[in-house]
Structure 1
Amino acid sequence: MSFLKNMTLIVLGALTGFVLLGGLGAALGLEFLTEFLTLEAASLVALWLAITAVITTYHEGKRAFPISHMVSFIGYPRSGKTTLITALFSEVFAQRILRGVNIIPRGAETIERVNEDIARLETGRELAPTTAQDLFSYRVEMLTGKTSLSRRYKIEIGDFPGEDSENLANKDAAWLHKTKYFQWALNADVFIFVIDLENLTDLGDDRAREYKSLLERSFRAAWQRIKEHHYDGARKLRNNPVILAFTKADLLLDSENSYRENSAASAGNAPGNYHRPVVLDSKERNRELSEKQESIEAYFRDIIQYLGSETSRFHVIFTSAFAKEKPDSVRFGIEELARSVLPK
């Protein structure tokens, strides 16, 4: 709206000049000059009102018609995708992140699913795995700002169905490409590839190496199919956020530490005590976590460099619904994730 503000100042300045000149013309008896300036002032005011109406209509239109924004999560079954999404909603609703941004769930299915999952997380109950019927289960509207510059977004968050996620275990690189979910994900605005740190507690064993190999092959093939889909240049994928999200970051801490019993893996897929998160409030614990993160990033160096070269908005984010940097802070990595994937 700076343009409208500048235009108003220019018009006011011009009108002031017209008034002064009109007064001078009247004093000198130059009636023709006074009449001319009056007509010019009226035309200027009419032009200003027309420009104001056009700009106001434009911004009101942007608010009336929401902008579509699609976010796709892709990863193994039970890798923490649904828990990650639930923790994101929980932090937003508690106003710990994105303060001033109004996010409203839309549709009975989304409202019931989000609130039920938050309740399950808070009471330590296992989250139900996403099924094929939950393909587009999360639909929300997001309103940014409170002025005429505010924007309204229609956001869809796609959670890769666990039933289809089982195909990740196949050695066929086309595990995802034939699914209904992937056809939707092809047109997403944000792509989040999820890696479960529970499978990477020992980087030297065969299980971790096999997991890494399958993930890198699958994620690389998926991205190449997305690029192929947009080869005609209809979408500038270099400007699309691509996230490599590592879940269950609390598991990177020393298995002997006193918080281990509350880790995300302490009861299979069942959450630990959501109200007693691992708190990274000591230099030793922060240093330990930082060193482990560096090791993980080095371990996945190839896929990180590949995806990083494909987009100008690539992020590697470590997350945990069961860890915080401080007792009163946000869940670990959730705010960074939100700011990376949601519209500005």
Structure 2
Amino acid sequence: MAASFTTSWRCAFLALLALFVSGAYGQLSPTFYASTCPNLTTIVRDAMVTALNPAVGGERRMGASLLRLHFHDCFVEGCDGSVLLDNVPANGSTPAFFGEKNAFGNINSVRGFEVIDTIKAAVEQACPGVVSCADILTLAARDGTFLLGGPTWAVPLGRRDSTTASMDLANRDLPPPFANLVTNPPDGSDLIARFQRKGLSATEMTVLSGAHTIGSAQCQNYRLRLYNENRIDFQFAQGLKANCPQNGPAGDTFLAPLDSTGSTFDNKYYTDLTGLRGLLHSDQVLYPQNNQTQAKIVLKYKGDNTAFFADFAAAMIKMGNLSPLTGTAGQIRTNCRLVNPA
């Protein structure tokens, strides 16, 4: 009975939080498409079930990829679908356009664009010109999390799509895998500073980093940690070195799971951090020796999966509402990869 009450209370809390957030961010609301595209959430969920199902050509890793794609969208000028825009070559007097896909944290790394294309096509067939690519990506990230065993939440909707993207801002704002928790002297490149610029606290940073409980990373992003760092479990490092040699480019693209349970969304990520088995440098620094306040956040989520799920859902709602385009701003792209023609 106590567990049932706790679960019910958390669900009610998240529902109220979604309503509060939607009110705080203008026109965003979980019911934004209730009359204009009533089957939207079903279309997205069905497509995500297929995308994650290996029996029909999908892969469970895609849930992590779309969650990461949503994060990389929101951290650059807000959740506006800008990360989805393709490069466009120069045409006459029109200069070439190089989007966020070329940024350090995205190039040859972010993926899932074809899944968004598929969902967009299905949504356009059901309700043409109504639903933004930014909202589709936000829903897909939520559903991927849930289908891999994680929490769900009411997604405030009503975002519109940007007509621009910025590779420079993506390079500045996206946290790299070698980022430190803090820098001394402060230079704005560390994790806490990057999240604070987005209005996210150290606790929200830590719980959002828990998204690394699913997905994989390439050897080139954790090689320096394997060979240059002392705060790493010896057996863990030795196991990875077999496929990630010290001298690249051999093994550069070899994938290793970000936590010990691979494609299951749970709190094992935090257990791994306390065992010095964080894959990326930017993961392991979340559990420092010299910052007990920060370390206690990791210990909290290691010991309480329910708290992790609830706090992750709340932080995802907050992150999903970073600087949305609403009203008459932006556009509803017909093709998520391209700005609508004038």
Output the TM-score relative to the length of structure 2: 0.27
From the two aligned structures, give the one with the greater strand fraction. 1
Q: Which entry has the higher C-alpha Rg, 1 or 2?
A: 1
Which structure exhibits the higher relative contact order, with contacts defined as CA atoms closer than 8 Å and separated by 6 or more residues? Answer: 2
